Amino acid sequence: MSDEPRKRRSLSHVGGRADTAGPRAEADLLAHALDVEPSTDDDRDPARSHVHGFHTYPARMHPTTAARLVRAFSPPGGRVYDPFCGSGTVLVEAMLAGRAALGSDLNPLAVRLARCKTRPRTEPEVEYLVARAAEVVQHADDRRRARAGATRRYPPEDVELFDPHVLLELDSLRSKIESLPDEPTTLDLGLVLSAILMKVSRRPGDTSGGVVVRRIRAGFPSKVFTQKAEDWATRLGAFSRALPSPLPPRGDVSLDDATVLKAPRDGVADAVITSPPYAATYDYLYHHELRLRWLNLDAGMMVRGEIGSRAQYRRMSAADAPAAWAWELSRFLKAVRRVLKPGGPLVLVAADSAVRDVAIRADEIAADVSRDCGFEPVARASQARPHFHEPSAAAFHDRPRFEHALLLRRTG
């Protein structure tokens, strides 16, 4: 295998006809938000434009869907809140639409990504980032030529995941980044390092286990780091130039548990637009374990509070899974109600999932639990989605799996 990195598609969308329910005007807006073209590997694709295309993140909301929901369900100049903000897609689109962007997540990698994506940069700041990246690479090159050893002891999982010379080169990049005194640039360059880890590892991809053989030459990790830093600088500049005038406030992103929400104050949001984890579908802690470790990020909140994880649902009875997801969703709805203004809209993008042969129908569960949590279901748009998990395929034998855009409104 060559040492040129393969392009990976972190997000795809299949489109298709939408089934709707509720008032025609609201339902049509939801359907329009879901009606996007499949993603491609072209950077002109909205899914990869400017800061959206920088760092992989599983199950990102399509930027076109986010943009349409923001413009349809939040007032001009209003505050949009995403309590499952992930890498910041909704927040970025809110800023581009002239809204104030508020977000939170219990994944510290997500918080760092969203904070960096939603901080507008001046041209000098972008140029400074590139210059600092060059210093980092020069440091790594000097240490490689000097045959310097590692600056720390690495755990067995890193020794298995990287060729010895690759691990040493990554160590040099990391040590220089951590020595930089200016925090904003340090955060940016840490994310650049995070973005290249899989490309130079023996793992096939973010969501794949096992290892593969890759022939990676000396100096290649630094080359990829340089390319990614320059790409990040270009994307930051493009995003900053695309922002409306006057500039909206920079994103306000906090580390918080969506089932508790300690950070936002009461009634701060004009609209909540979010996509909770799809039940029994992903294990975000596993997906991000390597990056969390390399960025020295504390995953304690994720360990204690990740909802919907596949590992968690795999351990329970299939018959208990829908009720378990209803309970987790109700905890979130009760917490977020306090943050949303009375009468304000909550838009959920959620998909059906399954545990073995039992389907977890996201739209039905949301409608069932929302009324007891202070919300009124208003409208729905649903599109059929393929189901790739063969062991649970029987759950969708009679009725397809759907992805939904659900509009709830806070009562009282």
The whole-number pLDDT of residue 11 equals 43
d(CA 289, CA 405): 30
Structural Rg of the chain based on CA atoms: 22
In a domain, residue 101? The reply is yes
Helix locations, 47-122, DSSP H = 63-73, 89-96, 108-117
Look at residue 295 and tell me if it is in a domain.
Answer: no
Domain annotation covers residue 91: yes
Is 14 a residue whose pLDDT tops 60? no
> Do 370 and 261 fall into the same domain?
yes
Report the mean per-residue pLDDT for the chain: 92
Say if residue 279 is in the same domain as residue 134.
Answer: no
Ranges 38-42, 211-215, 256-260, 317-321: which has the least confidence:
38-42
Task: Determine, yes or no, domain membership for 402.
Answer: yes
User: In the structure, what pLDDT confidence band is assigned to residue 13 with cuts at 50, 70 and 90?
Assistant: low
The pLDDT value given to residue 5:
38
**Each residue's pLDDT tens digit, 269-287:** 999 999 999 999 989 998 8
Specify if 220 maps to a domain: yes
Residues 327 and 356 in one domain: yes
Across residues 45-64, what is the average pLDDT? Answer: 89
One domain, residues 258 and 381: yes
The pLDDT value recorded for residue 211 is 73
- Tell me: pLDDT of 39 over 80: no
Q: Which residues contact 358 (CB under 8 A, 6 or more apart)?
A: 318, 319, 321, 322, 395
Mean pLDDT, rounded, for 287-291? 94
CATH code of 374's domain: 3.40.50.150
Which range (20-24, 62-66, 178-182, 292-296) has the least confidence?
Answer: 178-182
Sequence-distant (6+) residues with CB within 8 A of 171 are 150, 151, 152, 154
Mean pLDDT of 99-114: 97
d(CA 331, CA 118): 28
Kindly state whether residue 148 falls inside one of the protein's structural domains.
yes
The answer on 128 and 82 residing in a single domain is no
Q: What pLDDT does 40 receive? A: 61
pLDDT level of residue 215 (50, 70, 90 thresholds): confident
Confidence of residue 42 (pLDDT cuts 50, 70, 90): low
Mean per-residue pLDDT for 207-236? 90
Contacts of 173 (CB under 8 A, 6+ apart): 136, 137, 139, 140, 193, 221, 222, 225
- Give the domain-ending residue among 220, 241, 262: 241
| CA 55/CA 146 separation, integer angstroms | 32
The answer on 138 and 92 residing in a single domain is: no
User: How many Cα atoms are found within 13 Å in the side-chain-facing hemisphere of 31?
Assistant: 16
Residues 87 and 217 in one domain: no
> Of all helices (H) and strands (E), which one includes residue 403?
strand 401-410
Above 50 in pLDDT, residue 4?
A: no
Predicted local confidence at residue 76, as pLDDT: 96
Q: Kindly provide the b/e burial profile for residues 108-136, where b requires at least 16 CB atoms within 10 angstroms of the residue's own CB.
A: bbbbbbbbbbbbbbeeebbebbeebbeeb
Q: What is the pLDDT confidence band of residue 8, given thresholds at 50, 70 and 90? A: very low
Axis crossing angle, helix 63-73 with helix 24-34, rounded to the nearest 10: 160
Do residues 37 and 72 both lie within one domain? Answer: yes
Say whether both 101 and 40 belong to one domain.
yes
Residue 234 forms part of a structural domain: yes
Same domain, 258 and 405: yes
Structural domains counted in the chain: 2
Q: What's the one-letter identity of residue 186?
A: T
Q: Which domain holds residue 219?
A: 123-241
* pLDDT band at 207; cut points 50, 70, 90: low
- Domain co-membership, 341 together with 316: yes
In this predicted model, which residue has the larger pLDDT, 49 or 237?
Answer: 237
What's the pTM value of the predicted model, to 2 decimals?
0.93
pLDDT digits (tens, 9 = 90+) for 225-249: 999 999 999 999 999 999 999 988 8
Both 321 and 390 in one domain: the answer is yes
Nearest to 270 by CA among 94, 99, 80: 80
For 405-409, what is the mean pLDDT?
98
Domain membership of residue 318 (yes or no) is yes
Q: Long-range contacts for 317-320 (Cβ within 8 Å, ≥24 apart)?
A: 318/355, 318/356, 318/357, 318/358, 319/358
- Describe the chain by its helix, strand, coil percentages, rounded to 5: 45, 15, 40
Structure tokens at 254: 């906090």
pLDDT at site 18 = 92
Q: Worst-scoring range by mean pLDDT, 1-10, 209-218, 297-306, 327-336?
A: 1-10
Taking alpha carbons only, the member of 254, 224, 135 closest to residue 185 is: 135
